[in-house]
Amino acid sequence: MMQRPIGPVAVFGASNFPLAFSTAGGDTASALAAGCPVVVKGHSAHPGTGEIVAQAIDAAVKACGLHPGVFSLVQGGKRDVGEALVQHPLIKAVGFTGSLGGGRALFDLCARRPEPIPFFGELGSVNPMFLLPAAVGARGAAIAAGWAGSLTMGAGQFCTNPGIAVVIDGPEAQAFIDAAKAAVEKVGAQTMLTDGIAEAYRSGRDRVAAASGVRAVLTSMCDLRQATPYLFEVSGADWLANHALGEEVFGPLGLIVRVRDLAEMQAIAGSLEGQLTCTLHVDPADYPAAKTLLPLLERKAGRVLANGFPTGVEVCEAQVHGGPYPASTNFGATAVGTLSIRRWLRPVAYQNLPPELFPQDL
């Protein structure tokens, strides 16, 4: 058996990552590594950057003596351009990083084709953190400071931004919240990448603020493309009663969920939709509790962290940047790491073939 390239791949550039997830980002790199030609639909938020990167790829194609059709960039147009690309009969798979609505529309389009094709979409995540008691008691302030840095990094415009912190209520939880507020309120306004992202951030903030049982911990003023951080808190019962609180707010907004006990923390974990990441903050005394949470979290997320923050995504053999829907549309795939190449490959078995007929690679 050997892996064969699936064929030409359409890649949609991401609004929030002009480099890492766009013209020459992970989808393009992994598809080329698999031996597939790539057609990139450039994102309208950064057409100049996309053009410059495409020129660099074109220079590399020529320097390596490859066929000029190995890479193409399509710029401009409205939604119909992307739809036409997905529906082209020579396209054999699609890679996408973006909104749930846009990704689901492309996913359905791929499925409705006369020849359905795989769609690999990364559609967002709230990346919850679960703070266990011994860790909070021993180093709650340090965890709060680290969370503030991860939450507000790049104006919160990371798909792995940890937007929710779940903590068992009590004096240590309040100390953690106070420390998080002190750390976050030091962060000034940051410019978001597009007007659309900024508008969606304000809309998400208003949705969270208006939800039943939600209380403001830190509020600020933001307008136009200037994003300022917000912190809110809610009880575990109110969070469980409102599915919308588990939806992503793309930006530097944190929601702290105060739960009564470990059982309610487990209920929060069990109610989650698919996530890119879930994080445990634990000390050795927390290990028994962590062992009860892990079977839940590994069914919800593609990457489970301990005592860290998910906004660092290393490109390596073991990386998984994906998860159950709606984090991604294929739970068995990753958009980052060497395993991402497997998305664009098709296994072929050769049974009883004479060695003289083997493909050259065999």
- What are 279's strand-pairing partners? 129, 305
The whole-number pLDDT of residue 212 equals 96
Q: What is the pLDDT of residues 20-53, one digit of tens each?
A: 889 999 999 999 999 999 999 999 999 999 999 9
The whole-number pLDDT of residue 185 equals 94
Residue numbers annotated as active site: 122, 159
Q: What is the pLDDT of residues 80-98, one digit of tens each?
A: 999 999 999 999 999 999 8
Q: Using an 8 Å Cβ cutoff, are 54 and 75 in contact?
A: no
Using CB atoms within 10 Å of the CB of residue 314, give its burial: 0 to 12 exposed, 13 to 18 middle, 19+ buried. exposed
CA distance 345 to 353: 21
The whole-number pLDDT of residue 297 equals 98
For residue 222, is pLDDT > 90?
Answer: no
Q: Could you give the angle at the alpha carbon of 25 between the alpha carbons of 20 and 30, nearest 5°?
A: 135
Match 């469980």 to its residue by tokens: 240
For residue 327, is pLDDT > 90?
Answer: yes
Closest CA to 302 of 275, 338, 325, 266: 275
Average pLDDT, the chain: 95
Residues with Cβ < 8 Å from 68, sequence gap 6 or more?
61, 62
Among 215-224, 240-249, 257-266, where is mean pLDDT lowest?
Answer: 215-224
Query: If DSSP codes are grouped into helix, strand and coil, which group holds residue 151?
Result: helix
CA distance 113 to 93: 12
Q: For residue 220, name the pLDDT band (cuts at 50, 70, 90).
A: confident
Q: What is the pLDDT of residues 180-211, one digit of tens each?
A: 999 999 999 999 999 999 999 999 999 999 99
Q: For residue 126, name the pLDDT band (cuts at 50, 70, 90).
A: very high
Among 24-28, 72-76, 100-104, 220-224, where is mean pLDDT lowest?
Answer: 220-224
Q: Is the pTM of this model over 0.85?
A: yes
Q: How many CB atoms lie within 10 A of CB 73?
A: 22
For residue 146, is pLDDT > 90?
Answer: yes
